Structure 1
Amino acid sequence: MNVTIFGKGNMAAAIAKNFEATGNAVNYVGHETNATLSEVVVLAVPYPAVDEVISLYKEQLDGKIVVDITNPLNFETWDELVVPADGSAASEIQKKLPNSKVVKGFNTNFAGTLDSGKVGGEIPTVVLLASDFADAKDQLITALKDCPLTVIDAGSLKRARELEAFGFLQMTLAVKEEITWAGGFGIVK
């Protein structure tokens, strides 16, 4: 599978590492405006930057699996999400990209846990995926099958709301140093 990642930060690198570990090809897009996109596109940018990506690449995103890793928090206050209470960043992105298959994923993980494959150095890192497109989730699960991550189908795109709240809680705990950036929540099966 070919994967394009918007962004070049820690999350982008950690996600790419896992795709590459299973033989997938990854390319990055920064601020250039004429990149060719792969079949899977990962939005590893802050939520406020998503609209710019969509405005520049809307036509190219048609028919693609678009993975939204954002947590739409108010970066000024760190005290609220900036999407409707009954919605999510992922559902807003799906509305803007009706011909794409939006999948929420990786937003409940820190880069360190994606890089190491462990939460707190002990519990396997679990990536939760939410989407209305079962085939898109299945393709991502298959593409990451042999990497250190455990990838779980968390349900429909409606579950993105809970995933974003969960990611927000985890980030606020880390900022307050209640947990480390190598820690977080884990799922034991």
Structure 2
Amino acid sequence: MSYTIGIIGSGHIGRGLATHLAKTNYPVLITNSRGPASLTNLLSSISGSLTAADLSQTIARADVLFIAVPWAQIPDVARELQNSSGKIIVDASNNIVSVSPFRLADTAGKSTGEYVADLFPTHRVVKAFNTLAAATLAEPSQTNVGSTVIFMSGDHVDAKKEVADITKAMGFEPIDLGTFKQGGHLQDVGGALSGFELIKVNR
């Protein structure tokens, strides 16, 4: 299926996503809080189908939105999207609110995917791309035996299928962990799959 893809956030995770998405056949927009002019150097360093846009343009034009902003900014993004519906939201965030000292935000026992999904009730949220370190996401291991795995979870089967197709186009291998309750906590910081790069071997 043909999509326009948007990336909200141009930090390390946003740049890593942009690097791989720009190599696909999808039109890709990227936005940040500083405006399109601040993204000139990023665009010049990444060839392919990547265009800078402001937030409102990105929201209006994108069918699939990758959220790659700090945890504290996600409610602000949700407010910007409250008057739209039906988009696929790919939540690539982790609930880290402080690195030194290290501190995680309280999600009231919910997985971060489930927590974020509650902020976007009129959209379909898929948790993905949050288990790899930013440097690994940007430059995954190069091997001819298989592809780096991207884990995902979510409560919308159709949305996960579309995100899986995009993930494959990016050169990764998607693995569906099930619903947020079934697999979401495995992806979270401290979960069994957090911080590991796994390769699915070709058969």
Please give the range of the TM-score, normalised by the shorter of the 2 chains: 0.7 to 0.9
Cα drift, residue 82 of structure 1:
2.4
User: Any conservation in 2 of the 1:2–1:40 contact (CA below 8 Å)?
Assistant: yes
Q: Matches of 2:129 and 2:166 in 1, distance apart?
A: 14
Tell me the equivalent position of 1:177. none
User: Any conservation in 2 of the 1:4–1:40 contact (CA below 8 Å)?
Assistant: yes
CA displacement, residues 28-54 of structure 1 (integer Å, 9 cap, x when unaligned): 121255334201001100111101111
Tell me the equivalent position of 1:100. 123
- Cα 1:80–1:114 shift into 2, 3 Å: closer
Is the counterpart of residue 51 in structure 1 residue 63 in structure 2?
no
Tell me the equivalent position of 1:89. 112
CA displacement, residues 96-141 of structure 1 (integer Å, 9 cap, x when unaligned): 2211100000000123222223289x97421101011111111111
Q: Matches of 1:168 and 1:73 in 2, distance apart?
A: 17
- Cα 1:169–1:125 shift into 2, 3 Å: closer
Tell me the equivalent position of 2:49. none
> Any gaps of 5 or more consecutive residues in structure 1?
172-183
Q: Matches of 1:72 and 1:135 in 2, distance apart?
A: 26
Map 1:149-188 to 2 at 5 A: 149-158=172-181, 159-166=183-190, 184-188=196-200
Equivalenced residues, count: 174
**TM-score, scaled relative to structure 1:** 0.79
Could you tell me which amino acid in structure 2 is paired with residue 134 of structure 1? V
User: Taking every aligned residue pair, what percent have the same amino acid on both sides?
Assistant: 25
Secondary structure of the corresponding residue to residue 28 of structure 1 = strand
Map 1:37-48 to 2 at 5 A: 37=59, 38-48=62-72
Aligned with residue 129 of structure 1, among 130, 137, 152: 152
User: Any conservation in 2 of the 1:14–1:111 contact (CA below 8 Å)?
Assistant: yes
> Any gaps of 5 or more consecutive residues in structure 2?
34-53
Could you tell me which amino acid in structure 2 is paired with residue 138 of structure 1? K
Higher RCO, 1 vs 2 (CA within 8 Å, ≥6 residues apart): 1
User: Any conservation in 2 of the 1:119–1:186 contact (CA below 8 Å)?
Assistant: no
Could you tell me which amino acid in structure 2 is paired with residue 72 of structure 1? N
Aligned with residue 10 of structure 2, among 2, 8, 11: 8
User: Any conservation in 2 of the 1:123–1:186 contact (CA below 8 Å)?
Assistant: no
Moved over 6 A (4+): none
